[in-house]
Chains A and B, each alone.
Chain A
């Protein structure tokens, strides 16, 4: 048991009565249970007899009516079957996930003609199969019913011919093609042809600008692009306000590389050090080893000071805390292999950062300028020039491709006004979003899963997009539209094929490239050699206006799920994904510290964390005022407020983003400051209470452990000093179960066990020294009869035999059902050190297992359905942002061998398989929910409604219209046909992706060979960019999972709530933090007394609760 105090929300620090009452209930259900309202029943005009009559009649009538008809089902074969298709057998196509400039090589699983799941393409040498939450969710966008289903002219349905005629006729005068970053070689080729043919100007901008960094890089090393950062090669990573694990740069690649430097084991007890300077809480900040809290307006000063410190100069930022932190960062960077990244969009700050990287020799070692990152190439100056031209009437025709400036650009409203009076406006967007709604012509493009294309997101690393389904709607690829308007003949596919055949050398090479989906450089070039002079930049930073001590700063940030908006705003999976930082779903809010929140009144107490209603504040900036509900996030700078982009969408974006009646959330992009030198996303703000409340669906208090300790965390130094500390501790606490309970042979321990106090008694001796494996010591002081070690079946334990076996056999009060595992035994290991909490696994699981979206109203009632949730634990002092540390723990069904859920099921719907899986038979389940109540891990989910078939009766959709966008026959095509779609009244939970395990076993069996390790993988495992999840057959001693558990990582292994003898089949690896201290923990070295004291307190609490 860890001694550290962890809490998921402020309410857990000093739990109030209200909070305890709330979390004691598994589900909030009063409003759902029929007849819960006794009074209305007593006063009902219908008598009991009438009720029974009706009940009887309807039951009989329904039974008779139902039993009389069997539907006739048809089996429609192909008329002419394509040769490579076998119904029921999925095909995997190599393609590429694209999201504006971002492109990640993908493997698309196509089942009977429908793409249903996206995985990373593991053949890519650069990406190595990495994915993220948005990539996992992108398949749902394909089936988004809000996509435009045909072209529009002046808002009315039109034919492609009319569209082409109209556009071609209008292509005269000053023509602009405005787009997000285009890094597709063939796409750029066709754009160049269009530009040459029409004299158009091509303007690129990014929804969230990287202009400052790009300009600085252009000055420093002559390439207007982000370099390739090598987080895997870096020993020290300093990030100044860059959420590189969540949203900045290429987050999924960053995460992949970052995690490589974070894997610690006894054999390799080294890891990178990550120092994060930031004002608002970000995913990177939560994962950092040392998090330094400063205001966004101080980023420049921090960078300058860091440069100065590296030069050996003095650091004086007027804050001892910052000075020390910068000095420490400089010292760490000087040790070599350093890397500094910065999220600022200011060219001067980025220039200083380049100078720092140059100084520490990062160019060429941890930064490569050869393989540049082309995902962000937007130019704010060009965009401002375009807006200027638009304003002055200098634009005759404008075509928007893959961008939505009316919504996402700070000058959006100005653009909107002028678009109406522009002669010809064309949008190529896939939906009638804020910009397309104002365009005279909308020529909707395909989803990427329907497209031919390519992307060179990193120079030298091209990945190809090939269609996995023919277009669902009457749409046309944007390239084909552009080439048609440029006057070219033929189809886009012919053009594309020609283009790549020319490069690849023939049809065969082209086919092979498409099959692989990749065209990658053989080796990565690590070149650098930048020598940036930063003196002018330092001076410019020094001249920047400083924020007053009391002034509050507003930061506009991107959420890990929705990003800047785009189609993602209408993705119900992403909308319902609890944000890793806030654990909030479906809504936008202002995040701030408790200290700041309290200034607006006493309402922000811990109670408010439990209440769904949150106080709303009005945030006033130079560019406007918005109102946002407040969410208290520990670790926020006391003078910083964060608000996310991506909400407040127009009607045409879709129901999940905006259900047509209520604009959900407020558009905030207009608050950003746009200048020709770049857009600034932080600004001064005045905050006032708005005197109202708004409900937010936050999942942080759901599924509470009620203070049971569930994590283990060490500093790297502690781990290096004694890697076995955790293992020893576990053995010390549990290793004395050498005989069955009730056999009173170890000094009265049996009674103690019955009283739930073994650890307390145990701690009375032997503490304060290295416990090691010194059994004799225990024997003398505590009377543990190690001499009588026996298996439950009577066989003697040998001295060196695993104590875990003994605990397994004897650690329970009750008779434990034996589950022999003659063949396979599945097991999973999750590394808390490498897990960044990015939530890709949550979405992957949702896509793979048909997990329902329940809607905001249901989330508020604790009815959320995610099979794998990421628990976010804070530690430290809630009022001291600098002390906050965070640990993420993915929590899913632990597949206990001694599962508490199994023996309470009255119908045996939950039971154990011979492969160690806790199985759930849905159609046997009668919905008592006993299992959920008895699950110590709170991982079981109950279907309160028929979430996937809600539209089967007209007008039967839910109170929360936003989730209903998933209930139509197009969107249901995303369902995995190998997994049952659960309906109302059924319990469900993680199945270890049993359909995948069964599939892998089936293949092996059909081929008559042994199942290979790694053949059966769970969806969360394949989605995890960090490789934190290992899964396999524990009975196979050559498997990865066996090696992790019993060899490579055996020191870090622990099981959650191990002491209650549930015997989980999922183990965790302790969190190792490369820092000097672990917050909230009394200095543990040599002070185990403190631990002891805490433990006793823990037990007392438990008794009281019981």
Chain B
């Protein structure tokens, strides 16, 4: 197959001939989709083949870390980062640094008391961090502290090869690691099973020999018709699942998180600084497009805000794990906006027009051309929150597509969502439904009841 492919692709200029394998083909995609979809697909296969073994092992892995993460976020995150020094030191490996575990419990529950006790390590630490006092957490139990420590120790720096970023990247990286673990375990167990069965066979043969009973001649497993049939069926199902999954997902980009021309953090703007979504996406209630704001909207604030001062509380990282200099990103905005930060004025041409360029943002949420989607009607009359379709955007530094934006996903919402039936006078023409509500035959009106599932609501 590879040979045939290379023959075909020889004629396609885009593909360097020497690297023609399935992997390179898929990596064409990964270049743009920083989500390693090929790996997801391979994983599906791997996982499928070894399902029976894997799911037994899957559940208990970092249960502690999971709890610890919540505790860490609630109690520690405002001053500490697992990997970076913040208000307080980076916490990864803290249990190895401190004198002992007991010391750590005491320190966390009441650091001031430890310092006051004159503990050398504690005093040094206190001085090293500019005598910043750490909040006392007397209510934390030792097990909870263990969980937090387990979590911070589990956090790995984001690395370039990991692809992806944010939550999905974390998951996929973790998932990938697990897969190899599962595979190893499976191989070991399989070997064990084979050895055991061989032993069993041998023992059986010996027993038979002793008893003088004839032993059926053993057929090697690769010639055993049952195995062959089983393997064939498994292969068939596996490839079928792989192909149909691939087919269905063709054109879908869930998890898509492209690199943008400017590292714009929604978390900093919408999350930390709590800027209303529609301050920038102001067309969301007027138009089918929510509208990417023009650079002059950015400049409303950024004329004053010319540096990123939050690097300590919230350092910015790219999906590849590189740290981002927020101030430099603001400079990039100035480039596009034609803003001269020194003169505090725009660069203008002879006629006084501002020399601004549009920022070529990469569009993340793409619908096929044959789909008509209108933001305004969802936002205004549907009263749908932005997050319902775009995920927790205020938590994302780099935005990724959080939902699959498939037709099934749309339809499902139309089936489940109640329209604002009583409040919106538009619906007064649906006399039948009003009557049914009055008579108690009907509790609510779903979008699907007023034609929300019909083709030409979205396709025309």
List residues of A whose CB falls within 8 A of some B CB: 57, 61, 64-70, 72-81, 86-89, 822-824, 909, 911, 913-915, 917, 919-924, 978-981, 991, 994-995, 998, 1001-1002, 1004-1011, 1035-1036
A-B contact pairs, 13 of them (CB 8 A): A64-B25, A68-B26, A74-B362, A76-B292, A79-B354, A81-B294, A81-B296, A86-B283, A88-B291, A921-B456, A980-B460, A1010-B429, A1011-B426
Residue of A nearest to B8 (CB): A61
Q: Which of B396-435 contact A (CB under 8 A)?
A: 423-430, 432-433
Are A57 and B356 in contact (CB-based, < 8 A)? no
**A70, A75, A994, A1036: the one within 8 Å of B292 (CB):** A75
**Do A924 and B460 touch across chains, with their CB atoms under 8 A apart?**
no
Residues of A within 8 A of B84 (CB): none
The answer to whether A991 and B460 touch (CB under 8 A), given A86-B286, A1005-B424, A1008-B425, is yes
Alpha-carbon gap, A813 to B255, bound state (A): 53
Closest A residue to B360 using CB positions: A74
- Are A87 and B246 in contact (CB-based, < 8 A)? no
Question: Given the complex, which residues of B lie within 8 Å of A1002, measured CB to CB?
Answer: 374, 376-377, 381
A949 to chain B, nearest CB (A): 11
CA distance A88 to B281 in the complex (A): 13
* A86-B286, A1005-B377, A1006-B381 known; A77-B28 Cβ under 8 A: no
Contact of A69 among B28, B285, B336, B366 (CB under 8 A): B28
Partner of A88, one of B287, B297, B357, B366: B287
Known contacts A74-B361, A88-B289, A79 near B370 by CB under 8 Å: no
Question: Are the CB atoms of A74 and B363 closer together than 8 Å?
Answer: yes
A423 to B167 alpha-carbon distance, docked (Å)? 77
The answer to the question of B459 belonging to the interface, with a C-beta cut-off of 8 Å to chain A, is yes
Beyond A998-B372, A1002-B381, 6 additional pairs, beta carbon < 8 A:
A77-B358, A87-B289, A823-B451, A913-B456, A920-B455, A1008-B424
| Contact of A70 with B429 at beta-carbon distance under 8 Å, contacts A80-B354, A978-B372 already known | no
Q: Judge whether B372 and A981 touch: CB under 8 Å.
A: no
Q: Which chain B residue shows the least CB distance to A991?
A: B460
* A-side contacts of B357, CB under 8 Å: 79
In the assembled complex, B29 has its CB within 8 A of some CB on chain A: yes
Point out the residues of chain B lying under 8 angstroms from A917, CB to CB: 456
Asked if B359 is at the interface (CB within 8 A of a chain A CB), the reply is yes
Contact of B377 among A68, A920, A1006, A1035 (CB under 8 A): A1006
Interface size class of B (residues with CB under 8 A): 35 or more
Across the interface, do B286 and A89 meet the contact criterion of CB distance under 8 Å?
Answer: yes
Q: Is B201 located at the chain interface by the 8 A CB criterion?
A: no
Residues in B neighbouring A1005, C-beta threshold 8 A = 377, 380-381, 424, 426
Q: B294 and A77: CB pair below 8 A?
A: yes
Looking at A74, A87, A913, A1005, the one whose CB has the most chain B CB atoms below 10 A away is A1005
Given contacts A77-B295, A86-B291, A822-B430, contact A1008 B32 (CB under 8 A): no
Q: Is B192 located at the chain interface by the 8 A CB criterion?
A: no
* A79→B450 contact, CB < 8 A: no
CA A1086 to CA B276, docked complex, whole Å: 78
Interface positions of B from 20 to 38, Cβ below 8 Å from A: 25-26, 28-29, 32-33
Chain B residues in 8 Å Cβ range of A67: 29, 246-247, 250
Q: How far is the CB of A906 from chain B (nearest CB, A)?
A: 16
Tell whether, in the assembled complex, residue A913 and residue B451 are in contact, meaning their CB atoms are under 8 Å apart. Answer: yes
Q: A81 to B358, alpha carbons, bound, how many Å?
A: 10
Q: Nearest Cβ in chain A — how far from B38, in angstroms?
A: 9
Residues in A whose Cβ lies below 8 Å from that of B425: 1008-1010
How far, in angstroms, from A920 to B460 measured CA to CA in the complex?
Answer: 8
Q: Name the distance in Å between B404's Cβ and chain A's nearest Cβ.
A: 14
B343-359 to A contact mask, C-beta < 8 Å, 1/0: 00000000000101111
CA distance A90 to B451 in the complex (A): 26
Give A1037 Cβ to nearest chain B Cβ, in Å.
11
Assess the B456–A80 pair: CB atoms within 8 A: no
**A-side contacts of B336, CB under 8 Å:** 79
Q: Which residues of B contact A (CB under 8 A)?
A: 4-5, 8-9, 12, 25-26, 28-29, 32-33, 246-247, 250-251, 253, 258, 283, 285-289, 291-297, 336-338, 354, 356-363, 366, 368-370, 372, 374, 376-377, 380-381, 423-430, 432-433, 449-451, 454-457, 459-460
Judging by beta carbons under 8 Å apart, are B456 and A919 in contact? yes
Assembly CA distance A68 to B14 (angstroms): 12
Distance (whole angstroms) from the CB of A983 to the closest CB of chain B:
10
* Alpha-carbon separation in the docked complex, A67 to B243 (Å): 11
Q: How far is the CB of A553 from chain B (nearest CB, A)?
A: 51
A116 to chain B, nearest CB (A): 15
- Residues of B near A995 (CB, < 8 A) are 372, 460
CB-defined contacts of A923 to chain B, threshold 8 Å: 368, 370, 459
Interface residue from B9, B247, B361, B451 paired with A914 (Cβ < 8 Å): B451
Q: A67-B250, A89-B286, A919-B454 are in contact. Are A1035 and B362 (CB under 8 A)?
A: no
Cα of A670 to Cα of B454 in the assembled complex, Å: 58
Main secondary structure of the interface of A (DSSP, over half): loop
Count of A-B contacts judged by CB separation below 8 Å:
181
Chain A residues with Cβ below 8 Å from B29 are: 67-70
> Chain B residues near A73 (CB, 8 Å)?
362-363, 366
Pick from B287, B427, B459: contact of A86, CB under 8 Å: B287
Residues from chain B with a CB closer than 8 A to the CB of A1001 are: 426
A920–B5 CA distance with the chains assembled, in angstroms: 39
Q: Chain B contacts of A913 at CB under 8 A?
A: 451, 454-456
A686-B287 Cα distance, complex, nearest whole Å: 64
A751 to B287 alpha-carbon distance, docked (Å)? 57
Cβ distance A136 to chain B, nearest Cβ, rounded Å? 20
Q: In the complex, what residues of A have CB within 8 A of residue B457's CB?
A: 998
How far, in whole Å, are A1001 and B374 apart by their CA atoms in the complex? 12
Task: Assess the A914–B450 pair: CB atoms within 8 A.
Answer: yes
Compute how far the CA of A64 lies from the CA of B25 in the bound complex, rounded to whole angstroms. Answer: 8
Could you say which residues of chain B place their CB within 8 Å of the CB of A74? 360-363
Taking CB atoms, residues of chain A closer than 8 Å to B246 are 67
Q: Which of A61, A915, A980 is B459 in contact with, Cβ under 8 Å? A: A980
Question: Are B288 and A822 touching (Cβ within 8 A)?
Answer: no
CB of B450 within 8 A of CB of A980, answer no
Do the beta carbons of B287 and A87 come within 8 Å of each other?
A: yes
| Nearest 7 Cβ contacts at the A-B interface | A88-B287, A79-B356, A921-B455, A81-B294, A919-B456, A78-B294, A77-B292
A87–B291 Cα gap in the complex (Å)?
7
Candidates A70, A824, A919; contact of B251 at CB < 8 Å: A70
Q: Name the A residues within 8 Å of B338 (CB-CB).
A: 79
Query: Which A residues are in CB contact (< 8 Å) with B359?
Result: 76-77
- Nearest CB to that of A81 among chain B residues? B294
A65 to B10 alpha-carbon distance, docked (Å) = 12
List of B residues within 8 angstroms of A86 by Cβ: 283, 286-287, 291
Q: Which of A88, A921, A981 is B288 in contact with, Cβ under 8 Å?
A: A88
- Is there contact, CB below 8 Å, between B356 and A80? yes
- CB neighbours (8 Å) of B291 from chain A are 77, 86-88
B430: which A residues are within 8 A, CB to CB?
Answer: 822-823
Measured between alpha carbons, how far is A1044 from B412 in the docked complex, in Å? 40
Distance of A710 Cα from B155 Cα, bound (Å): 77
A contact residues around B9 at 8 Å (CB): 61, 65
Task: Report yes or no: A79 in contact with B426, Cβ–Cβ below 8 A.
Answer: no
B5: min CB distance to chain A, Å: 7
Q: Is the CB of B287 within 8 A of A75?
A: no
* Residues in B neighbouring A78, C-beta threshold 8 A: 294, 358
B296 contacts across to A, CB distance below 8 A: 79-81
Assembled-state Cα–Cα distance A998/B289 (Å)? 16
Q: How far is the CB of A52 from chain B (nearest CB, A)?
A: 15
- Whether A61 and B372, one on each chain, are in contact in the complex, defined by CB atoms closer than 8 angstroms, is no
A515-B381 Cα distance, complex, nearest whole Å = 31
Cα distance A914–B32 in the bound complex, in angstroms: 42
Residues of B within 8 A of A81 (CB): 294, 296-297
Minimal beta-carbon separation of A541 from chain B (angstroms):
59
Contacts of A1006 in B (CB 8 A): 285, 376-377, 380-381
Q: How far is the CB of B448 from chain A (nearest CB, A)?
A: 10
Q: Establish whether residues A68 and B25, one from each chain, have CB atoms under 8 Å apart when the complex forms.
A: yes
Distance from A231 Cβ to chain B, minimum over Cβ atoms (Å): 38
